[in-house]
Amino acid sequence: MNITHKQSLIAIAVLAIICLFLGAKLYVNNQAYERLTGEYGDLELSKEQVVFDLEKMRFAYDTLQTENSMMVAEISAQRDKINGLITKVKNGNWALAKAKKESETLRTIMKGYIATIDSINQLNIALTEENIAMRERVEEVQDRNAKLERRQENMEEIIAAGKVLQCSDVSAVGVRLLSSGRQRETSRADRADMIKVCFTLLENAIADSGDKNLFLNIMGPDSTILSAEAGVNFSASRTVDYSNDRLDACIFYTADESALLSSGIYTIEVLEETAVIGSTLIELR
């Protein structure tokens, strides 16, 4: 079959139109593919950004520190929400717009926690400083009171010591009793029936006036105390009426008939109750 020149031109024209149509279709499809590819890429980038933001927020929640048990429970619950949201976004089970909105809500809640924790911490710091200051004031008052108590005790000790009588001019002599009842001084041990100790109580304005119990302790040459009688630990005693003025007084020790005085040096102490207020020595030959 012979094809005319006109038919050939028509066939070429049709083929050209078909090629143009196919080319246009391919171009349109390529543009659509590139657009979809770009949108998918943008979607992936947006998804990764949301996950990244959520993970940063989770880290921020992990850094929140508080001793408030209620806030600890709430922070833990919000952290669990973030973990669940990250999982949903990664699996594509959550709309990104909704995920972003939820992320902003969680971020707002976190800011509230941060502000609350900061306020609590500032309050705790203030309370701690106040407690330290209060403790220092209490310690200062206790120290001052302790010093006052020690001063009071010292004053009481000084006053008590000041109230103790003092005596001067302490002297001692051996005494022999004559048959007439008279007394004669002697320095011989074998003739002495008594030891006479005389002294002067000094003036003391702060001492208590009234009866004062005075005692003698006489230690013999053998370093034993001469006892007034069995069962007592002093040699002699006397009560005087003291009126805060100088007072001359004497106390006599009477030797036991069964234990005569021996030769040697005797150490004599004068006591008011248990306080030694004077002393002297005497030697009997």
- Checking if the pLDDT of 282 tops 80, the result is yes
Q: What confidence score (pLDDT) does residue 258 get?
A: 64
- Checking if the pLDDT of 14 tops 80, the result is no
| CA 203/CA 200 separation, integer angstroms | 9
**Range in 40-54, 100-114, 135-149 with the lowest mean pLDDT:** 40-54
- Name which residue leads in pLDDT, 41 or 84: 84
| CA 64/CA 71 separation, integer angstroms | 10
Q: What confidence score (pLDDT) does residue 38 get?
A: 46
* CATH code for the structural domain at 167-284: 2.60.40.10
pTM over 0.85, yes/no: no
- Name which residue leads in pLDDT, 21 or 39: 21
CB proximity list for 266: less than 8 A, separation 6 or greater? 172, 195, 218, 219, 220, 221, 281, 282, 283, 284
Residue 30 banded pLDDT, cuts 50, 70, 90: low
Q: Where in the chain is the domain with CATH 2.60.40.10?
A: 167-284
CB proximity list for 150: less than 8 A, separation 6 or greater? none
- Checking if the pLDDT of 100 tops 90, the result is no
Average per-residue pLDDT in the chain? 80
**Among candidates 105, 82, 87, 77, which has minimal Cα distance to 47?**
87
CB 253 within 8 A of CB 194: yes
- Checking if the pLDDT of 268 tops 90, the result is yes
